[in-house]
Amino acid sequence: MLEQETLRETSGRPNLPEGRETREWIEKDRRYVWHHIQPYVASRDPMVVVKGDGAWVEDLEGNRYLDAMSGLWCVNLGYSQKALAEAAYQQLLEMPYFPLTQSHLPAIRLSEKLNEWLGGDYRVFYSNSGSEANEVAFKIARQYHAQRGEPTRWKILSRYRAYHGNSAGALAATGQAQRKYRYEPLAPGFVHVPPPYCYRCPFGQTHGACGIECASAIEQVINWEEPKTVAAVIMEPTITGGGVIAPPPEYLGRVREICDKYGVLLIIDEVICGFGRSGRRFGHQNYGVQPDIVTMAKGITSAYLPLSATAVREELFEAFKEDEPYAHFRHVNTFGGNATACALAVKTLELMDEREYVKRAEELGERLREALEPLAAHPNVGDLRFFGFMAGIELVADKATKEPAPSDFVGKVIAGCKRRGVLIGKNSDTVPRFNNVLTISPPFVVTDEEVRLIADVLRKALEEAGEG
Ligand code: PLP
């Protein structure tokens, strides 16, 4: 069994020096640090990560883990790209910061590069996080319609199960009610539609004979809400954090047609799917659609620094050029488009081009599929889903009824993987009955062998959890 000891022996990488006061750091963490989204458990020690190397991280005690989730779906190029650190360092020395009320070279370079990657004509607005990128998209969509003489178009449609961020608008767009519980009321004007979730089709249909009712439902909701009140639809190319729910191939094209028919803007959230994760530069490029607005974050800097972007089709930007005091986009944030973060993002994209990481991600997606497919036979694996280099493994208590596996079972599998040195995740819904999808989204620097290791460890952890 690949337990920690074995991993340490086989890694060939140095452990931490002796004599660190591990316990002291952990106690300090437990005293002072408020952890993101984790329930407080008095007896639980945090995993304090001190080092990263390729796809591996090492904790205070010298335990090494293959990070099969790239942090939070973001460290796409792994933990030790020196060229990224150097790009940031050089920019820090040269000119660390200037607000984007004016401009700087890294933002200009990055905007040009993003246009090349998007294959379209986009104007780019920068922020710091995916949530902010989505907030910016919502404001731009509403203002665009208002300035084109349709000020009543302010509703945003999004899908159940999707996650779009933590701020008032982005959380309102999020289709996971349990995330909002005790924080409401949030921003008004957000309406949800059912997701294209073939394994548990909300319409009781089977793909092939369904007429893509999940897309038609969007048209229905636009009509029910009154088209003149709908500003935009936001969606990820594939629902990621909500459980890797990939749509039928014809879905996104159909959504684009519906948006065009009703004058509704299509916002594509590429916060996770972007920058190679889908096996293309952007997730929507798998479906041949051109979004009106693209939001991105995470992989844009491989998470080495915070940065996000909202790219808006140039035709839309026309509406913001008018000579009228309220016509411009009246939005600013101090750190958005930070020069150092932009320089690092340019380097990230250059490295991805030079080393063909997008192509590699596509290949790795195939390796992951081959490695995980045998798990479909396991009695607790209800559905295996893939999109580019990510996977969702939906666990059930019973394959026939599709009853979700209980959360303690899911927790045991994740813990079993961790004990064997592999970090995997689960979907982001926060209550047990929707909390049954394991997620895998490793850095693009993993080897084929490491992909097989992830699958092997997961198989063992599943078997062990099944034994009780
Ligand atoms: N959109 C999607 C699809 C995400 O997965 C996330 C975060 O996980 C966000 C938006 C929000 O990004 P951030 O956490 O950077 O605000």
Angle ∠(207,212,217) on CA atoms, nearest 5: 135
Q: Please report the pLDDT score of residue 6 as a whole number.
A: 46
What distance in angstroms lies between residue 137's CA and the mean position of ligand 1's atoms? Answer: 13
Nearest-CA residue for ligand 1 atom 12 is 130
Burial class (CB in 10 A: 0-12, 13-18, 19+), 33: exposed
C-alpha of residue 248 to centroid of ligand 1, in Å: 23
Averaged pLDDT, 256-284: 98
CA–CA dist 27, 46 (Å, integer) = 9
- Which contiguous run of DSSP H or E holds residue 32? helix 22-32
Q: What mean pLDDT is predicted for residues 334-359? A: 98
Nearest CA to ligand 1 atom 10: 164
Stretch 46-57: mean pLDDT: 96
155 CA from centroid of ligand 1 (Å): 21
Token pair in block for residue 296: 């991105």
Question: Residue 431 — pLDDT band, cuts 50, 70, 90?
Answer: low
Percent of the residues in the chain that have a pLDDT greater than 70, as a whole number: 95
Task: Indicate the DSSP class of residue 239.
Answer: B
Q: Is 277 exposed, middle or buried (0-12, 13-18, 19+ CB in 10 A)?
A: buried
Please report, for residues 31, 42, 52, the alpha-carbon distance to residue 25 in angstroms, rounded to integers and kept in the order given: 10, 16, 18
Mean pLDDT for all residues in the chain:
94
CA dist., res. 60 & res. 55, Å (int): 17
Q: What is the pLDDT of residues 167-226, one digit of tens each?
A: 999 999 999 998 999 999 999 999 999 999 999 999 999 999 999 999 999 999 999 999
pLDDT at 11: 46
Question: Model confidence at 4, in pLDDT bands (50, 70, 90)?
Answer: low
Residue 52 clears pLDDT 70, i.e. is over it: yes
Calculate mean pLDDT across residues 41-56: 94
CA distance 395 to 249: 24
Residue 264: CA count within 13 A, CB half-sphere: 30
User: In the chain, what percentage of residues exceed pLDDT 90?
Assistant: 90
Q: Distance between CA atoms of 316 and 197, rounded to whole angstroms?
A: 32
Instruction: For domain 20-79+358-467, give its CATH number from 3.30.1180.10, 3.40.50.2020, 3.90.1150.10, 3.40.190.10.
Output: 3.90.1150.10
Q: Name the CATH code of domain 82-355 (choices 3.30.70.260, 3.40.220.10, 3.40.640.10, 3.40.50.720).
A: 3.40.640.10
**For residue 72, which atom of ligand 1 is closest to its CA?**
8
Q: What per-residue confidence (pLDDT) applies to 9?
A: 43
Quickly state the pLDDT bin for 463 (edges 50, 70, 90): very high
Comparing 39 with 98, which gets the higher pLDDT? 98
Q: If you average pLDDT over residues 125-132, what whole number do you get?
A: 98
State which of 163, 236, 429 you would mutate to test the pocket of ligand 1, scoring each by most atoms of that ligand within 8 A of its C-beta: 163
> What residues contact 306, with CB distance under 8 A and at least 6 apart?
128, 129, 335, 338, 341
Query: Cα(238) to centroid of ligand 1, in Å?
Result: 13
Residue 142 is encoded by which pair of tokens? 């509403």
Determine the distance separating the centroid of ligand 1 and the alpha carbon of 376, expressed in angstroms.
29
How many angstroms does the Cα of residue 426 sit away from the middle of ligand 1? Answer: 15
Q: Domain spans of the chain?
A: 20-79+358-467, 82-355
Q: Whose CA is nearest to atom 2 of ligand 1?
A: 164
Atom of ligand 1 nearest to the CA of 236: 3
- How many CB atoms are closer than 10 A to CB 456? 14
Instruction: Give tens-digit pLDDT for 224-261.
Output: 999 999 999 999 999 999 999 999 999 999 999 999 99
Give pTM, 2 decimals: 0.96
Ligand 1 cavity residues, CB under 6 Å:
72, 129-131, 134, 163-166, 236, 240-241, 269, 271-272, 297
**Closest atom of ligand 1 relative to the 167 alpha carbon:** 16
Q: What is the DSSP letter of 36?
A: S
pLDDT at 20 over 70: no
Give CA–CA dist 196/141, Å, rounded: 24
d(CA 300, CA 110): 10
Are 20-79+358-467 and 82-355 the same fold in CATH?
no
Residue 176: alpha-carbon gap to chain centroid: 15
Q: How far is the CA of 270 from the centre of ligand 1 (A)?
A: 9
